[in-house]
Amino acid sequence: MDGQELYDLNTEIRGGRALDETTFYVLANLAKAKFERSRAWRKLVKKNSDNSATSSTTNATEFTLPTGFIKTLPRRTMKLVNSSGAWKDYTEVPFERWDEYKTQAGCFTIDHLNSKFYLGGTVDQTYTINFYHSATTTALATAVTWIFPEEFHPYIAFEVAVMDELGMDYDEKNARQGNANSDRAEMILRSAIKWDDALARSSLGI
């Protein structure tokens, strides 16, 4: 479903009361962000290879986080790979403990405030930094379709209805409908989580 179809569905959910389009897309993108940041979805795993580490790289060398970065993955999120295919795993450590780890090879840290990351220790040759992470998707708009399977798209429309009925346009009648719509949104989210869990198990061969 593209943005227009989600807008139309939201209007139906709200009994034909159409939201202002600008307001709808602001709320729709808030709903999208809530969904995408709720877990490390397999659908959002992205590989960034824009940066390289060389023998001159130090623990003070700044690298810019990938565009659309949400968070690192739970395991093996960064690999340094050389031209022959040899690789080194790097493990994230907290930025506030960087002074403890910065001399240790195999560690990296993220300065989220400034959207930078740093590698610990030194490297002996040139490596491509393969950074696997969760990334945001394109902002919803009239002709933009969310990348998740279409069966989960109604989550956006129901969640926008909840934001309106339990927030901006709150009254006793809307509260009753808003609670029902919240239940529907949660039902869709639970279904999406089961699907994502299956993808994760499949990737691990279990």
Q: Are 197 and 206 in contact (CB under 8 A)?
A: no
Query: Region 136-140: what's the mean pLDDT?
Result: 97
Are 78 and 155 members of one domain?
no
Residues 125 and 193 reside in one and the same domain: no
Q: What percent of the chain has pLDDT over 90?
A: 85
Q: 192 with 117, same domain?
A: no
State residue 176's pLDDT score.
60
Q: Are residues 30 and 90 in the same domain?
A: no
Pick from 135, 157, 185: which residue ends a domain?
A: 135
- pLDDT at residue 78, as a whole number: 97
- Specify the pLDDT at position 170: 47
Q: How confident is the model at residue 205 (pLDDT cuts 50, 70, 90)?
A: confident
Please give the residue range of the domain that contains residue 26: 3-40+148-204
Q: With respect to residue 116, please indicate whether it lies within any of the assigned structural domains.
A: yes
Alpha carbon 34 to chain centroid, angstroms = 9
Q: Within this chain, do residues 55 and 108 fall inside the same structural domain, yes or no?
A: yes
| Whether the predicted pLDDT of 177 surpasses 70 | no
Mean pLDDT of 41-60: 96
Q: What's the pLDDT score for residue 169? A: 55
Q: Which of 75, 108, 135 is the last residue of a domain?
A: 135
Total length of the chain: 206
Residue 11 within any structural domain of the chain: yes
pLDDT-based confidence at residue 74 (cuts at 50, 70, 90) = confident
Residue 22 lies in a domain: yes
The model's pLDDT over 139-173, given as tens digits with 9 standing for 90+, comes to 999 999 999 999 999 999 999 999 987 855 545 55
Query: In angstroms, what CA-CA distances link 37 with 30, 33, 71, 133, 153?
Result: 11, 6, 9, 12, 16
130/193 same-domain check: no
The answer to whether position 143 is within a domain reads: no
The single residue listed with the structure tokens 């999406």 is 192
Query: What is the rounded radius of gyration, in angstroms, for the C-alpha atoms of the chain?
Result: 21
- Inside any domain, residue 196: yes
Same domain, 131 and 53: yes
Task: Specify if 130 maps to a domain.
Answer: yes
Within this chain, do residues 22 and 104 fall inside the same structural domain, yes or no? no
State whether 120 and 51 are in the same domain: yes
60-63, Cβ contacts within 8 angstroms, sequence gap of 24 or more: 60/118, 61/118, 61/119, 62/116, 62/117, 62/118, 63/116, 63/117, 63/118, 63/119, 63/129
Note if the pTM is more than 0.75: yes
Could you read off the pLDDT of 98-125 as tens digits, one per residue?
A: 999 999 999 999 999 999 999 999 999 9
Are 54 and 122 in the same domain?
yes
Of 135, 162, 188, the last residue of a domain is 135
Assess whether pLDDT exceeds 60 at residue 138.
Answer: yes
140 within domain boundaries = no
- Quick one: pLDDT band at residue 65, thresholds 50, 70, 90? very high
Our count of domains for the chain comes to: 2
Mean per-residue pLDDT, 174-189: 82
Alpha-helical segments (H) within 49-171 = 98-101, 154-163
Instruction: Specify whether 127 is located in the same domain as 159.
Output: no
